[in-house]
Every structure is written in C-alpha cells, then in structure tokens.
Structure 1
Amino acid sequence: MMVLNWIDNAPRRILGLISLACVGMLAFGMYLQHVVGLEPCPMCIVQRYALIGVAIFTGLAAARDSRGWWMSLAGVAVLIAGFGAFVAARQSWLQWYPPEIATCGRDFYGMIENYPISRAIPMIFRGSGDCTAIDWTFLGGSIANWSFLCFVGFGLVMLVLLARHLKGGRRGGAGYSMA
C-alpha cells in the first residue's frame, strides 16, 4: 500500500527516478565498453537507443506540470520500454538458443550505412555471432537478461502509474500535488 500511495502522490518523482536509472544504466554500459573492453553488438546498440528514449521521455514527463503532458510523455516512454524489452528478449533467446551458423556480421553502423533501412532492421534482429556471445554476467544473467528485466520493470511501473491516474482522475481534490 505504501508504494501505491507514493505512486499516487509523486508520479513525477517516479518518472524522474526512472530517467535517472536509465542514465545510470547507460553510464554502466559505457563503463563496460570503454573500461572493461566489451564491444556492443547491434542489438545492444538498439537497446541503448531504447534506454535513451525512455530516459528522455520520462525526464520530460517529470519536468512537466500539466497532467496531460506528463501522462502523454510517460505513455510514449512505456511504448519505448516495450520495444527495448522486445529487443532484449530476442537477444536473450539468441543467447540461449544460438543459431547453428553464427557469423560475426556487420556492426550496427555498417548495416545502416550500407543497406536500406528496410533491409538493415531485419538484419539487426536476426542477430550475429556477437549477439549470441555472453561476455559478462551478474548473478547468472547476461546483460540482455538484466536489460529485459529493467525494461519490463520500468514499463510496469509506468503502466501502474498511468492506470491509477487515468482511473482515479485527480485524487485528493484541490490539494492534489503532482510533485
């Protein structure tokens, strides 16, 4: 009950925390790439873009006072989180059941530069030898597994927030605060 009360009383703070968590995850990804030396695969790059999208839209939603604005921006963030969860789930599937022929295909930017977008996007989701590799784990889960859990968690929290505010309207009457 305490968490639901917090969701009711401080939706913009929750959106701000989600935005900060996304920025933290992006910073950790940069650490793994530049300090540890892990190279991101095409699907990892797409997940980074999804994190950037969630961070931007939840950050904008947290900054807006108008109920309609923050709910609309949070709705877009839910869709982006769902897309990120889909990409992470696909990568996890490829890691658990790698294709019989795993080749190290082109990198993300090479695909976008050399192929039309209609061909590059299916190539990204097909994965490559890089996408099936598990270079780092934490508590038995790969980066893709943890990314999936974070996207699903962010999406669920935002869905609960939106559902409670759509269903209940303005709770608390005139003294209702969006802080």
Structure 2
Amino acid sequence: MSPTPLRWLYLAGFFICAALLGTAYYFEIVEFMEPCPLCMAQRFFVLLVGVFCLLAFLFDKFRWPSRLFLGLGTASAIGGAFVSDHHVWIQSLPPEDVPACGPSFEYLMETLPLDALIQIMLSGDGNCADISWMYLGISMPGWMRLIFILFALVGFAALVYTWRRSNRKLSSW
C-alpha cells in the first residue's frame, strides 16, 4: 500500500506537539510557572499524541499499524480533552469549593506509588485552580482543551479517510 496524502499531516501533528511541549517548558523554566498535577497530565497526553503522530507518519504505508497509531493518537487526544476539561472546571469553581492544595509534583513523584500518583494527577488539587496565564480570555487549559479536540477531530477524520481509501482499493479488485 502506498503512503496516504495525510502522511505529512501526521508529521505536522508531531511537530505541533513538540512545540506545545517546548512552550510548556518555556513557561516552567523561563517564566517560573510551576505546573500543577493536571498540567503534568496534559503534558503526558500531548506527548502521547505526538509519539502516535510520529509513528503514524513512519508506518503510513502499512495499513494496520498506521490505523492503530491513528486510533491511539485519537484516543490520547480525547483523554487529554477530558483532563483539560476537568482542569477548566476546577478553575471555574468558586473559591470555597476549590480542593485543598497539595504538595509539589516532584515530592509526589518521589513519595507515592504510581497508581496513587496517577489518581492525584487526574483529579487535581487547589493548585490547579490558579489561572496564571490567559490569552483572549481563555486560560492555558482552555486552549489545550481546544487543541486536544482539534487533534481528536483530525485523527478521527484521518481514520475514516484511510478506512474508506483501503476499502475502495479492495472493492476495485
């Protein structure tokens, strides 16, 4: 099977994810904005989407591996959208309903087992309610929610395209 016309879109997705991670590290290292547990979970999902985009690019000429990586990338984008949505929800809570703040992420990584760390990362704490950056009235998690939704929609459309493309070739035999 020949590579799809979407092949370069997969590579662009990888570079977009690399740029998003670079931006996150810029805000952390240069702007001294300490990431909360939900921010770290969103970074993880961006990393997953980027890796699956790269794998879809590399294995594009093979039908099933490319579909698998597209599906996993789309699922990762949906997971990231849910985490971002939860983060936006925590930021919208009134101050009296915000969960208590927890220890730093580094401390949690050093002291907790993996399952407890994942649970805390996905539930968030009071640190996640702080809005330290906005653009056009939308916070960072709000932008990430939009980006994850876009990745999920494009991934789903690419899956449908590759599925229909391969079915057309099979029916022409």
- Matched residue, 1:97: 93
- 1:85, distance to aligned residue in structure 2 (A): 0.8
Determine the structure 2 residue equivalent to 1:82: 78
Question: CA shift at 1:171, angstroms?
Answer: 5.5
d(CA) in 2 for partners of 1:68 and 1:102? 44
Cα deviation per residue 1:32-79 (whole Å; 9 max; x = unaligned)?
111111111011011111111111111111012212221111111111
* Paired amino acid for 2:66: W
> Which of 66, 69, 73 in structure 1 is aligned with 2:69?
73
User: Over residues 71-118 of structure 1, what are the superposed CA-to-partner deviations in whole Å (9 max), with x where a residue is unaligned?
Assistant: 111111111111111110000000011552543202334334323334
The one-letter amino acid of 1:125's match is L
Deviates more, 1:84-93 or 1:102-111: 102-111
Task: Compute the displacement of 1:170 (Å).
Answer: 5.8
1:10 aligns with 2:11: no
Match of 1:49 among 44, 48, 55: 44
Q: Match for 1:106 among 92, 96, 103?
A: 103
- Give the corresponding residue for 2:145: 148
- SS of the residue corresponding to residue 10 of structure 1 reads coil
Picking from 28, 41, 55, the partner of 1:60 is 55
The 1-side partners of 2:126 and 2:167 are apart by 51
Q: Distance in 1 between matches of 2:4 and 2:11?
A: 14
For 1:35 and 1:143, the matched residues in 2 are separated by 16
Q: How does 1:117-132 map to 2 (within 5 A)?
A: 117-132=114-129
Cα distance between partner residues in 2 of 1:154 and 1:35: 27
Q: List gaps (5 residues or longer) in structure 2.
A: none
Decide which moves more: 28-37 or 151-160: 28-37
Count of paired positions:
166
Q: 1:36 to 1:112 in 2, by over 3 A?
A: closer
Q: Percent identity?
A: 29
What's the TM-score, normalizing by structure 2? 0.86
- Kept after mapping to 1: 8 A contact 2:41/2:122: no
Amino acid at match of 1:22: C
What TM-score results when the alignment is normalised by the length of structure 1?
A: 0.83
Amino acid in the other structure paired with 1:130: N
Instruction: Tell me which moved more, 123-132 or 150-159.
Output: 123-132
